[in-house]
Amino acid sequence: MSATLAPAVRAGRRMPETRRRTRHLLWTVAAAVLIVALTYVLPPFRNYQLATVGAYLCVTAGLTVLTGLNGQLSLGHGALMATGAYTVALLQERLAGQGQWTLLVSVVAAIAVTTVAGGIVGLAAARLRGPYLAGLTLAVAVVVPAITSTFDTIFNSDQGLSVYVDPPPPALGATFPYERWQAWLTWTGALLTMLVLATLIRGRFGRSLRAVRDDEAAARIAGVNVARTQVLAFVVSAACAGLGGALFAVLAQSVSPGAFPLSLSLFLVMAIVIGGLGSLAGAVWGAVLLVALPALTHSVTDSINVSPAVAQRLEGNLPLALFGVTLVVVMLAAPGGIASLKPRRRKA
Amino acid sequence: MRRIWSALAAITLVAAATSGCSDDSSGGGSGGGSVPGVTATDILVGTHMPLTGPAAAGYSKIAPATKAYFEFVNAAGGVNGRKISYKIMDDQYNPATTQQVVRELVLQDKVFAILNGLGTPTHTGVLDFLKTNRVPDLFVASGSRSWNQPDKYPGTFGFNVDYTVEGKILASHVKETLPGKKVCFMGQDDDFGRDSLAGIEKILGPVAAKQSYVTSNPNVGPQMGALKQAGCQVVMLATVPGFTSLSLGTAAKIGFKAQFVVSQVGADLSTISKQLGAAAPLAEGLISANYLPMSTDDANPWIQLYKKVNAQYNGNADFDNNIVYGMSVGYLFVQSLQAAGKDLTREGIIAAVEKGGFQGPANAPLRFSAENHSGYGGEQLTKVEGGKQAYFGTPYETDDADGAVAAYSAQAVTPPQNGIPAAS
């Protein structure tokens, strides 16, 4: 794990603080321009998928910081996403029809609520290691459907809630495609997340994260507050998951426990491992895979002519199998994930 | 950072490449016509169905049956020279998956309409999306009252009897034939259960005890235990088939005997029997209601027609009420297409359905109009006796408000000679 991170650490030390910040900002602006351009080229369904990648990216970026840089495994990020999503659903219902600003309020509130939830889980998590930590976060993921059906008057059980989302602002034109607007919304969130995280992990906070991950005793001797760092890492990661969940609610215009199953949490972990644990580039790859692989398997089952019964069985299981195969292949070929394939030429 | 950049660049390339492909395919598919999914020779419609998951039992046979009926119509030349293609997507009865597959159907496959999308919790979540995209949302396979909101969702029409209407009809039967009994209720924890309970309580007043379940938790032990504890003598179920079987089995296991009265959507005997296996006799005495011909009624000309189509175009699948249902949906859709005429548009088919006047296999009225988008308006009671599910009494009709439950006497029509509705 640490081998993949070495180049990033070096790059961080060499560059002066201010130059680094302007550089992050420049990348973000360039990426934003690229995304906007893409949304004009792509057909609606691809735009919707692009928007989904943006929403996933918020979560995978936060998770890779927690798991890759701080060494805490979370199997409960799906539940944190649900927290953000339900917050948006409940608030949007109250604020419906008052204008575009309500969405910003709801999303910020979703991040705040999830941050608090993440803080609570993080406090417990900081006391646990390895399988115990995985167990705790797993429990958090599993409890979502039970909560929604126990408090069904608020969360409406398996049916879930619909999310009121305003149409694109009229200033953009009457025929402005809804999916393009969705892509803009989610990528605003995703790029802001990337900018904040990139700045955070290159600084003192990032060094503390890595120090705690590599050797807690050594970190403590060097003056790093281990427990505080771990809780903070969880809180930052939870805030990102909350934002991601909120954006998912906006995308689907509905929330239900079925959207945040345990398998989602597992897929998230798999995605960041395949993408490259601990690197934000890996998080981008992970987010892309989360959207592309199921779509790919779907078109594969569509194109091969098998009996309906077989196709039915493939439908549910093939994405899982493909994810597994990808994981095995990537781990054999590039143990650092897809993102680690590139930087070799920089070593010169 | 450079790595992030290269990742983004790679996405751009992939996205651009795939968009090229999809543009080509959709361009070829729609042939430049202005109506999505309609060409001079084809109509593409889509649906979302639980082919796998907790509600798949029985329901997974509906869409293939509809498709088989379309192939039967296509073999005879289609409707106005257009063949009907039916794209079936599996949503596993998971509202989140429904969101995805319906978007794929509408945005990527560019279907003309969504037909017979199944499920209350699942379909409720896509109403707004379909409305925004002006996609006709025809004959939803559920009896939620949400489909009947012409002001809010002008393109959405139901197929099933409203669960509230059904609840009133079933409760009236209970009130007449089982007076003084302690009546309890268990339903799905969503609009299906709530609408059904609303209808029951309109007739019977508050039930003695009520329980609910979610499809994601296949255990009704606590619920059945509570109903037994409450001393229930009649249990009214608003359940999907899997949970009807589960309830019957669980009740028997804990020695809880009651008269079960089940919503039509959860009462197909062959589906329940298959799930109960050796315990199939537990379904004996089960009371329900229906509005379509019974699959076992070989004398019915509609069943004869459907059996023929099933043998020719559906791989001779095990013939049950789900197949009858699926083919009846197909028949009604072909009727709507005929009524919409040669210049098929999305507005045109909605207007044609609102004009109404469809006669078909059911023993209950279809009351489509500009003000009424609900499905069938009545039902006749059924009972399982000697391992066979059959109608008894007369059909009833009522509304979802406080209207009386009254007998409905119009004669059912016979199918046209060639089995295909004629152009009107």
The string over A133-153, giving b where at least 16 C-beta atoms fall within 10 Å of a residue's C-beta and e elsewhere, is bbebbbebbbebbebbbeebe
Tell the burial category of B293 from Cβ atoms under 10 Å away from its Cβ (0-12, 13-18, 19+). Answer: buried
Q: Is A158 in the B-facing interface, judged by CB distances under 8 Å?
A: yes
Q: Do A43 and B19 touch (CB under 8 A)?
A: yes
Q: Is B97 in the A-facing interface, judged by CB distances under 8 Å?
A: yes
Mean pLDDT of all residues in A321-330: 86
Looking at residue B192, what is its pLDDT? 95
Substitution target in A148, A154, A157 with the highest count of B β-carbons within 10 Å is: A157
Q: Give the DSSP H/E element, type plus range, for residue A276.
A: none
The answer on pLDDT for B26 being more than 60 is: no
Distance CA B181, CA B173 (A): 12
**Shortest CA gap B141–chain A (Å):** 16
Nearest to A316 among B22, B52, B215 (CB): B52
Distance CA A46, CA A183 (A): 10
Nearest to B22 among A27, A43, A162 (CB): A43
Q: Do B214 and A145 touch (CB under 8 A)?
A: yes
Q: Do A53 and B7 touch (CB under 8 A)?
A: no
Looking at residue A304, what is its pLDDT? 73
CA distances to A180, A202, B138, B288, B295 from B325, in Å = 39, 62, 15, 16, 9
Beta partners for residue B82, in sequence order: B79
Q: Both tokens of residue A50? A: 């692009």
Q: Is A253 in the B-facing interface, judged by CB distances under 8 Å?
A: yes
**Shortest CA gap A123–chain B (Å):** 30
**Shortest CA gap B192–chain A (Å):** 10
Tally C-beta pairs within 8 A across A and B.
142
**Shortest CA gap A221–chain B (Å):** 31
Confidence band for B2, pLDDT divided at 50, 70 and 90: low
Residues 101-120 of B with CB under 8 A from A: 103-104, 107-108, 120
Looking at residue B252, what is its pLDDT? 96
Distance CA A230, CA B110 (A): 48
Q: Both tokens of residue A185? A: 């919304």
Mean pLDDT of all residues in A9-38: 80
Q: Do B95 and A256 touch (CB under 8 A)?
A: yes
Residues 6 or more apart whose CB falls under 8 angstroms from that of A152 comprise B189, B212
Distance CA A91, CA A112 (A): 13
Confidence band for B7, pLDDT divided at 50, 70 and 90: low
Compute, in degrees rounded to 10, the torsion defined by CA atoms B282, B284, B286, B290: 120
Closest by CA position to B317, among listed B67, B2, B47: B67
Per-residue pLDDT tens for B126-158? 998 999 889 999 999 999 999 999 999 999 999
More confident residue, B286 or A23: B286
At A100 the three-state DSSP class reads: coil
Closest by CA position to B280, among listed B271, B293, B290, B291: B271
State the residue for tokens 């934000």.
A280
Q: Both tokens of residue A91? A: 């608030």
Residues 271-290 of A with CB under 8 A from B: 279-281, 284-285, 288
Per-residue pLDDT tens for B180-207? 999 999 999 999 999 999 999 999 999 9
Looking at residue B76, what is its pLDDT? 94
* CB-side neighbour CA atoms (13 Å) of B354: 17
Looking at residue B393, what is its pLDDT? 93
The answer on pLDDT for B19 being more than 70 is: no
The answer on pLDDT for B247 being more than 90 is: yes
Mean pLDDT of all residues in A49-76: 95
Window from A165-169, A245-249, B119-123, B188-192 with minimum mean pLDDT: A165-169
Q: Residue B146: list chain A partners with CB under 8 A.
A: none
The answer on pLDDT for A146 being more than 80 is: yes
Q: Which 8-state DSSP code applies to residue A65?
A: I
Q: Residue B142: list chain A partners with CB under 8 A.
A: none
Q: What is the 3-state secondary structure (H, E, C) of chain B?
A: CHHHHHHHHHHHHHHHHHHHHHHHHHHHHHCCCCCCCECCCEEEEEEEECCCCCCHHHHCCHHHHHHHHHHHHHHCCCECCEEEEEEEEECCCCHHHHHHHHHHHHHHCCCCEEECCECHHHHHCCHHHHHHCCCCEEEEECCCHHHCCCCCCCCEEECCCCHHHHHHHHHHHHHHHCCCCCEEEEEECCHHHHHHHHHHHHHHCCCCEEEEECCCCCCCHHHHHHHHHCCCCEEEEECCHHHHHHHHHHHHHCCCCCEEEECHHHCCHHHHHHHHHHHHHHHCCCEEEECCCCCCCCCCHHHHHHHHHHHHHCCCCCCCHHHHHHHHHHHHHHHHHHHHCCCCCHHHHHHHHHHCCCCCCCCCCECCCCCCCCCECEEEEEEEECCEEEECCCCEECCCCCCCCEECCCCCCCCCCCCCCCCC
Q: Do A342 and B23 touch (CB under 8 A)?
A: no
Q: Residue A198: list chain B partners with CB under 8 A.
A: 1
At A126 the three-state DSSP class reads: coil
Q: What is the 3-state secondary structure (H, E, C) of A140-186?
A: HHHHHHHHHHHCHHHHCHHHCEECCCCCCCHHHCCCCCHHHHHHHHH
More confident residue, A269 or B9: A269
The interface predicted TM-score (ipTM) is 0.81
Looking at residue B4, what is its pLDDT? 62
Cβ pair A66, B40 in contact under 8 A: no
Contacts of residues A1-4 at CB distance under 8 Å and 24 or more positions apart, as own/partner, are A1/A68, A1/A71, A1/A213, A1/A277, A1/A278, A2/A210, A2/A214, A3/A336, A4/A276, A4/A277, A4/A278, A4/A279, A4/A335, A4/A336, A4/A337, A4/A339, A4/A340
Per-residue pLDDT tens for B65-84? 999 999 999 999 999 999 99
In chain A, the percentage of residues whose pLDDT exceeds 90 is 60
Model-level pTM? 0.86
Q: Both tokens of residue B15? A: 């996205």
Looking at residue B132, what is its pLDDT? 85
Mean pLDDT of all residues in B292-314: 95
**Shortest CA gap B290–chain A (Å):** 25
Closest by CA position to A45, among listed B347, B98, B15: B15
Q: Which 8-state DSSP code applies to residue A343?
A: G
Looking at residue A126, what is its pLDDT? 86
The answer on pLDDT for A8 being more than 50 is: no
Distance CA A278, CA A119 (A): 21
Confidence band for B12, pLDDT divided at 50, 70 and 90: low
Closest by CA position to A320, among listed A299, A284, A290, A276: A290
Looking at residue A323, what is its pLDDT? 80
Residues 6 or more apart whose CB falls under 8 angstroms from that of A109 comprise A87, A88, A91
Q: Give the DSSP H/E element, type plus range, for residue A73.
A: none
Q: Do A312 and B52 touch (CB under 8 A)?
A: yes
The answer on pLDDT for A14 being more than 60 is: no
Residues 6 or more apart whose CB falls under 8 angstroms from that of A150 comprise none
Residues 182-221 of A with CB under 8 A from B: 194, 198
The string over B343-374, giving b where at least 16 C-beta atoms fall within 10 Å of a residue's C-beta and e elsewhere, is ebebebbbebbbeeebebbbbbbbbbeeebbb
Mean pLDDT of chain A: 88
The answer on pLDDT for B302 being more than 90 is: yes
Residues 62-91 of A with CB under 8 A from B: none
Q: Is B128 in the A-facing interface, judged by CB distances under 8 Å?
A: yes
Mean pLDDT of all residues in A62-67: 96
The string over A13-52, giving b where at least 16 C-beta atoms fall within 10 Å of a residue's C-beta and e elsewhere, is eeeeeeebbeebeebbeebbebbeebbeebbbbbbbbbbb
**Shortest CA gap B135–chain A (Å):** 15
Mean pLDDT of all residues in A217-232: 94
Q: Do B94 and A160 touch (CB under 8 A)?
A: no
Mean pLDDT of all residues in A28-48: 94
Distance CA B283, CA B302 (A): 26
The answer on pLDDT for A209 being more than 60 is: yes
Packing angle, helices A226-252 and A178-202, rounded to 10: 170
Looking at residue A241, what is its pLDDT? 97
Mean pLDDT of all residues in A303-308: 68
Distance CA B198, CA B158 (A): 18
Per-residue pLDDT tens for A95-118? 988 888 999 999 999 999 999 999
Packing angle, helices B2-30 and A17-41, rounded to 10: 10
Closest by CA position to B294, among listed B386, B384, B375, B391: B391
State the residue for tokens 């919304």.
A185
Nearest to A253 among B5, B129, B212 (CB): B129
Substitution target in A60, A256, A296 with the highest count of B β-carbons within 10 Å is: A256
φ, ψ (nearest 5 deg) of residue B246:
-60, -40
Q: Is B259 in the A-facing interface, judged by CB distances under 8 Å?
A: no
Distance CA B215, CA A82 (A): 19
